[in-house]
Chain A
Amino acid sequence: MATGDLALGHERGVLSAQKRVTNDFSINVATVNGSGSQSANSVLLKSIFGMGVPVSGKNLFPSNIAGLPTWYTIRASKDGYVARTRDAEILVALNPETAKQDMLTLPAGGAAIYEESFNLKQYRDDVACYPVPFDKITAAVCPEAKLRKLVRNMVYVGVVAQLLSLDLGVVEAGLKKQFAKKQKVFDLNFGAVKAGFDYAQEKLVKHDPYVIERMNKTTGKIIIDGNAACAMGAVFAGVTVVAWYPITPSTSVVEATTDLLKKFRVTAEGKATFAVVQAEDELAAIGMVLGAGWAGARSMTATSGPGISLMAEFSGLGYFAELPGVIFDVQRSGPSTGMPTRTSQADLLSTAFLSHGDTKHIVLLPGSVKECYELGCAAFDLAERFQTPVFVLTDLDLGMNNWMSDPFAYPEKPLDRGKVLTAADLERLGGFARYRDVDGDAIGWRTLPGTLHPKAAYFTRGSGHNDAAGYTEKPEEYQAIMDRLSRKFENARKAVPAPVVVKNGTSKVGFIAYGTTDFALAESLDQIKREHDVSVDYLRIRAYPFAHEIHDFVASHERVYVVEQDRDAQLASLLKLDLPAEQVTKLRSILHYNGLPLDARTVTEEFVAKEGL
């Protein structure tokens, strides 16, 4: 009987020369969307995680409910790299429509597990082939015909587990967690996993080099997607009013937020200390957020590019009337509907200046699930402190995929509810002027509706107003407000999350990036060092307006490559607007915008070519 390990010794032509490849490869699972493959993929991912091996998963799915091709890639990386790789060494082919093409794209020396009837062996002789009669195995363990489509995917988990030498007990534990309270569902699914495992053990002879070996690199780590992490950030920031309109890929931000609010924010009497409203569109969603922010509640919405466009008018009002609110933008490929299920970073410029007139917004840029939580939480403090809409830009790759992370820490500081006057304050002060800069920080004091003092009320408007909130069209009064808003924005440079800088002090070349580009850059830096013995410094931006460290970084390098996932070099453009003229020419761009997450090799190749290494 061939176990995975023993089978390695078999002489198999071209494959025999291969060495063992341990904990460093990718698996591509090709299925049809709507077939329930998500839970199987998740179980496999968590099983590798359970083996202590760093792992990441990416779902490449169509904008469709059911019936179109879907690919899920799982990367195991002993070095902890989590970016997409161009090639996946192992293919699980379950979709007849794409099986041939999927097979042809496998790298030489790869392995293919496929439905027997696809007969994929005819296309490649440099790939280890494992035909499996999925339907037959499924039918045997799942008598109920209508469930077979779902259970079938678990069979592949069993086959892969056996071929990669995964511990079946780890798979079982992961599955148990997945179907925590549903014993019957667990039994059915684990039966399918076991059947796949047994089939592989009895009928397949391992003749590929890929194995998972136990490590201890995931101890204490968590696995979570960015949208759920943003939701946690919002809930631990005390969000209270949520208004939204469903849009891929942001929908699960609000779904997760709602689940958490129901869990933690219902009183003993069964009353809600929150309100979640599914609005009629994004215009209404942002209107509700700003109305709630005006009246003193911590409010948020989540959307994607097209929703951001619809929020443009209100964002200008929020900026000029100085209203707090948090907007999560999980970016996807545009323009227009673009590719709704593909990732992008192309909303940066549109959110930074969202609206009409002279408008600029605080934009936070998380680069990991942990930062989705931390910056998601910080956004609410910043919105109330600076009395302005704050945008949190993630993307589909970060938001909808599972990532390994250190656990999130409980916030150390109490909530910063900003500058709000109470009735007692008004009594003491004898009144106030809403938009007057009394503290020199360019932020006025506000009152909330319902403050029981005859001098509490003020008139909020998007039209010209003076510092006492009175209507004005006087040039100097209007300009004074505009200048103060500019000073306020300038002050935000010091308050927003500082960039993360990796610097060795000697390198003349630097990288600048933000968000998910970090996954590829972290790996690319190592590739460049290893393959060309060149050290490159790296600064990861975490917010706009840009902190002074960003200016310093550019100033201290001869060339700076701005790596980003959009066509028009939006981050570089935003930097050019901000940097002194003599620094601008130092910037170079490396751009990626095909809808797939950026991979390290693309960065490395382009950098090497541009640097002439």
Chain B
Amino acid sequence: MATATPTPKVNRIGLPILEYRGGKSTLCAGCGHNAISERIIDAMYEMGVQPERVMKMSGIGCSSKSPAYFMSRSHSFNSVHGRMPSVSTGAILANHQMTMIGVSGDGDTASIGMGQFVHLMRRNLPMIYIIEDNGVYGLTKGQFSATADIGSKLKTGVINDLPAIDTCAMAIQLGATFVGRSFSGDKKQLLAMLKAAIAHQGTVMLDVISPCVTFNDHEGSTKSYKFMQENDEPINEIGFVASFDEIDVDYDSGQIFDVQMHDGSNLRLRKLHEDYDPTNKADAVRTLMEAHESNEVLTGVFYIDTQKPTFTDLLNIVDEPLATLPESITRPPKSALDALMHNLQ
């Protein structure tokens, strides 16, 4: 009996999902980070992003190892603890035609990397910045990080007595233009959020709660699978229709908040919290602060601004990548030097 080799399913640029995969993960089985890598693969595949047009960046930590586990066809840079933002800034300046995705952790961002994080947000550098947030340091075996909630408990019984840094509230205040929180266990929400992130121009800051099965998944933890399943409170339901999808979007009012993305895609946020306006910074920050009071973990897209110029817009850089400009452009002519010398005589 003759069998035909089944043609693998391909995306809009003709690539099968296999071409978006990475190396085998060395993280713990069940680690939330692996699920996030999977969603990144799905989102890039579904959006039809050319893998060679992507730069994967990271700092140091469990989270920062994960770029090795997705998209092997993309250049990647696993840099220095807490310093991924600066390396990413330099790389984007060298080639702003690239799509950049950075993976950080709660330690890498909210402690050692806080200085660079805030300035990255402030610049609105065009990149997707993901915090794989589990509230603990994994590689050094389970110390609290600065996003651990007050009152949460380590396996050893140690109680955290310092308040958590809300990286989303910070990112909104500082100038990121797409800010959201999700949960590694919520496939649908995370995928939609990532696809919208790919369509966005500017800094996307996603804090993804990603339980650490080894050091922070026990009773008393506020970053465990169980805690998230019980306390995850979506602020909106995310629907994303890419520019190339042939689906008409109804622009109805009421509980729907439609955002036209820069590339023609549509982001539809179905309001689950009454009157929540994701274009109002003050509202967004207030809502996040109130959620802390009531021990809710709000998820969803908290803030979006599709109009604010990005850092490369502000620098008014030519369309071509700076990295590959020819010598005829980068080295001024002899007449330029002669004129300078003449003025110094």
Name which of B73, B89, B317 has the most chain A CB atoms within 10 A of its CB: B89
Of B3-11, B77-85, B192-200, the segment with at least 4 beta carbons within 8 Å of chain A is: B77-85
Interface members, chain B 62-104 (any A CB < 8 Å): 67-68, 72-80, 83, 85-95, 97-98
Of A260, A294, A457, which is within 8 A of B90 by CB?
Answer: A294
Is chain B's binding surface mostly helix, strand, loop or mixed?
helix
* Contact call B116/A456, Cβ cutoff below 8 A: no
Contact of A353 with B by CB under 8 A? no
B55 at the interface (CB under 8 A from A): yes
In angstroms, Cα B83 to Cα A244, docked, is 15
Q: A516 an interface residue at 8 Å Cβ cutoff?
A: no
- Evaluate contact between B345 and A222: CB separation under 8 angstroms: yes
Shortest Cβ distance from A369 into B: residue = B344
Q: Which residue of B lies closest to A409 (CB)?
A: B337
Which of A236, A289, A314: most chain B CB closer than 10 A?
A236
B96's nearest neighbour on chain A, judged by CB, is A275
B77 touches A236 (CB 8 A): no
Q: Does A271 make an interface contact (CB < 8 A)?
A: yes
Q: A288-B90, A449-B95, A462-B78 are in contact. Are A295 and B331 (CB under 8 A)?
A: no
A113 at the interface (CB under 8 A from B): no
Which residues of chain A have C-beta atoms less than 8 A from B116's C-beta? 280, 283-284, 287
The listed residue (A235, A277, A283) touching B93 by CB distance below 8 A is A277
Residues of A within 8 A of B319 (CB): 271
- In the bound complex, do residue B52 and residue A457 qualify as a contact, i.e. CB atoms below 8 Å apart? yes
Q: Which residues of A contact B317 (CB under 8 A)?
A: 271-273, 275
CA distance A265 to B89 in the complex (A): 21
Looking at B86, B91, B329, the one whose CB has the most chain A CB atoms below 10 A away is: B86
Please give me the residue from chain A that is nearest to B19 by CB atom: A454
* B322, A238: Cβ atoms closer than 8 Å: no
B336 contact from A241, A243, A264, A272, Cβ within 8 A: A264
Do residues A415 and B331 form an inter-chain contact, with CB atoms below 8 A?
A: yes
A273-B322, A294-B87, A448-B324 given; A454·B73 CB < 8 A? yes
With A224-B344, A238-B330 given, is the CB distance from A452 to B87 under 8 Å?
no
Cβ contact within 8 Å between A288 and B93: yes
The reply to whether B90 and A287 form a contact with Cβ atoms under 8 Å apart is yes
Number of interface residues of B (CB under 8 A): 59
Q: Is B308 an interface residue (CB 8 A)?
A: no
Give the interface segment out of A147-155, A296-304, A541-549: A296-304
Docked-complex contact A297 and B323, CB < 8 angstroms = yes
CA distance A135 to B340 in the complex (A): 38
Contact of B75 among A241, A410, A458 (CB under 8 A): A458
Task: Tell me whether B322 and A451 are in contact (CB under 8 A).
Answer: no
Chain B residues lying within 8 Å of A236, measured Cβ to Cβ, are 331-332, 337
Contact check: which of A238, A288, A293 meets B89 at CB < 8 Å?
A288
- Residues 234-250 of A at the B interface (beta carbon under 8 Å): 235-241, 243
Is there contact, CB below 8 Å, between A292 and B52?
A: no
Docked complex: A549-569 residues within 8 A CB-CB of B: none
> Does A291 contact B87, Cβ atoms closer than 8 Å?
yes
Known contacts A223-B344, A284-B116, A448-B323; is-contact A241 B90 (Cβ 8 Å): yes
Q: Which residue of B lies closest to A447 (CB)?
A: B75
State whether B86 touches A450 (Cβ < 8 A): no
Nearest residue, chain B, Cβ from A316: B80
Determine whether the beta carbon of A220 is less than 8 Å from that of B325: no
B318 interface residue, CB < 8 Å from A?
A: yes
Please state if B321 and A450 are interface contacts (CB–CB under 8 Å): yes
Given A288-B86, A296-B95, do A232 and B316 touch, yes or no (CB 8 Å)? no
- Beta-carbon contact of A221 and B90 below 8 Å: no
Complex A-B: 21 CB contacts under 8 Å: A222-B345, A236-B331, A240-B94, A260-B332, A273-B318, A273-B330, A283-B115, A287-B79, A287-B80, A287-B90, A288-B89, A288-B93, A291-B88, A295-B98, A297-B95, A297-B322, A314-B83, A407-B344, A411-B331, A415-B327, A457-B73
* Beyond A263-B336, A454-B51, 13 extra complex contacts between A and B, CB < 8 Å: A241-B93, A241-B94, A271-B319, A277-B93, A279-B119, A284-B85, A286-B86, A287-B79, A289-B90, A295-B92, A460-B75, A460-B77, A462-B79
Those 5 A-B pairs whose CB atoms lie nearest each other, nearest first:
A291-B90, A287-B86, A296-B323, A238-B330, A295-B94
